[in-house]
Structure 1
Amino acid sequence: MTETTLLCVPFAGAGPSFFHPWRELAAGRWRVTSVELPGRERRIMEEPYRNVFEAAKGSVDDVVADLGEGARTVLFGHSLGAVLAYELAHLLGERGVRVEGLVVSGSPGPWTQRERRAAGLPDEEFLARVEEFAGFRHEALDHPEMRELILPVLQADCEMHESYVPSTDVPLAVPICSLRGAVDGLVTEEEARQWQAATTAGFTYAEFPGDHMYLVDAGREVLDVIAAQSLRSAETDSSAVSGA
């Protein structure tokens, strides 16, 4: 049987390296890979996207090539990564990839837009607003050279997240699990549960100690929830096939 790949989609300003420690934490349960968006890490010199659907459409060929023929995947995305993963789930299904689950984190349902925004603010106000949203400040922003590289990407990411409108109103036929930090001041429990309307399959919800960026310290626990969710989905599929 083809190995299932856990495809991780970075949040605003982040790159694939955030998820590298998850490869060890996955303990052989999946092959862990990540979407590589332009404007960061190995693609630092490329122009970042400013539209979520365009980012998904522009990434899908590389994702399909990385996953391989007959691939099975579970998608994970946090905040901006959640809506990008949602768009990718639609596109991958159309490309014959078996999407076994979508795990969204720190995100309201795809049809809910943020009321408070950071895009378009002057640099210092923008950074203060992002720090307020996230609950922490990336130390690299305190170094002028790094800030010069990171700031345009972070601004582009916030712009595409805050202007996001789903490309389709058709729900996924894929189980969705929505995760949230228990004291997330950016996304309420009610908003995180809105994802139930985005699927015709199963829906589950879980909370972790912490704020919007809880996953920085909770990689192992997040992966355990994803594993449990995958097991439930597999058991449901098995029951359906056997007629139980």
Structure 2
Amino acid sequence: MPSQPFPLVCLPFAGSGAGFYRAWVPDALPAVRVIPVQLPGREELFLEEPFTDAIDAAAVLVPQIAELTSGYEEFGIFGHSLGAVLGYEVARGLQELGRPAPAHLFVSGSPGPFNGRDARATGLSDEEFLLRVQEFAGYRHAAFDDPDLRELLLPVLRADVAMHENYKPSSDVPLRIPVTALRGADDALVSAEHARQWALVTESEFRYAELPGGHMYLADSTAALLRAVTGS
């Protein structure tokens, strides 16, 4: 009898929503069940105020993710950039509350939580902010060149970027689950040294893996990323 697909809870990166991961669902490997998580302020939740603090965000997300995963014997959490620190805090929250914790945490495109980034975009003017984010991510979404869409999307992106740049971990007590740090081999924002800092967050197994591409490698290397998750 074939094994059941591994449920993978996916948390968005700054400025994105669950729609990015919903696009993975039809093409996901048979070994993975993609479970996108939506954040307020975007897509179907665009009327809700976005989170402004990662610790507060995790406190809201923990019961939501506990409910989403209640029918599974085990599951993983994947987060890219901002989603990585949210995933880390959610994993910690589940562990501390005695809820079923993820079997594995996958953090992508982010330095370890105890150091953060050196360069910042928070506080810049709109155009300077977008240029800095473009520099960070290696691309600029066409939506920000449309004045109406820009007005709609910019506050969420600003809130997300500030949340990531101002983030401080809620605790330095190690997790008890395996952690894998993933990074695009050509990522100019997060170095291999920065990504390997995630080894400090767990007393269990740590693994580091690189995939082809830059900071947003996951937009072009979905299959390779999911293979890295499943170890296939």
Q: Which TM-score bucket, shorter chain as reference?
A: over 0.9
Shift of 1:21: 2.6
Aligned residue pairs total 229
Shift of 1:71: 4.6
Once structures 1 and 2 are overlaid, which stretch shifts more, 27-36 or 63-72? Answer: 63-72
Confirm or deny: 8 A CA contact 1:174 1:201 kept in the other structure.
yes
1:210 equivalent in structure 2:
213
Shift of 1:104: 0.7
Taking the TM superposition and a 5 Å limit, the aligned residue runs for 1:151-162 are 151-162=154-165
Shift of 1:220: 0.5
Change (3 A) 1:46 1:52: same
Confirm or deny: 8 A CA contact 1:180 1:212 kept in the other structure.
yes
Shift of 1:2: 7.8
Taking the TM superposition and a 5 Å limit, the aligned residue runs for 1:24-43 are 24-43=26-45
1:142 equivalent in structure 2:
145
Shift of 1:114: 1.4
Confirm or deny: 8 A CA contact 2:7 2:72 kept in the other structure.
no
Say if 2:73 is the partner of 1:58.
Answer: no
Taking the TM superposition and a 5 Å limit, the aligned residue runs for 1:76-87 are 76-87=78-89
Say if 2:129 is the partner of 1:126.
Answer: yes
- Matched position secondary structure for 1:145: helix
Once structures 1 and 2 are overlaid, which stretch shifts more, 137-146 or 125-134? Answer: 137-146
Runs of 5+ unmatched residues, structure 1: 232-244
- Matched position secondary structure for 1:45: coil
- Cα distance in 1 for partners of 2:4, 2:55 equals 28
Shift of 1:3: 6.0
Shift of 1:109: 0.7
- Cα distance in 2 for partners of 1:95, 1:42 equals 31
Give aligned-pair identity as a percent.
Answer: 48
TM-score relative to the length of structure 1: 0.89
- Cα distance in 2 for partners of 1:31, 1:210 equals 24
Shift of 1:8: 0.3
Confirm or deny: 8 A CA contact 1:76 1:82 kept in the other structure.
yes
Name the aligned partner's letter for residue 13 of structure 1. Answer: G
Provide the alpha-carbon RMSD of the alignment: 1.6
Once structures 1 and 2 are overlaid, which stretch shifts more, 134-143 or 1-10? Answer: 1-10
- Cα distance in 2 for partners of 1:9, 1:217 equals 17
Confirm or deny: 8 A CA contact 1:71 1:98 kept in the other structure.
no
Shift of 1:70: 5.5
Shift of 1:81: 0.5
Taking the TM superposition and a 5 Å limit, the aligned residue runs for 1:178-197 are 178-197=181-200
Confirm or deny: 8 A CA contact 1:39 1:46 kept in the other structure.
yes
- Matched position secondary structure for 1:104: strand
Once structures 1 and 2 are overlaid, which stretch shifts more, 50-59 or 18-27? Answer: 18-27
Runs of 5+ unmatched residues, structure 2: none
- Cα distance in 1 for partners of 2:199, 2:216 equals 22
- Cα distance in 1 for partners of 2:62, 2:75 equals 13
Confirm or deny: 8 A CA contact 2:29 2:226 kept in the other structure.
no
Say if 2:34 is the partner of 1:45.
Answer: no
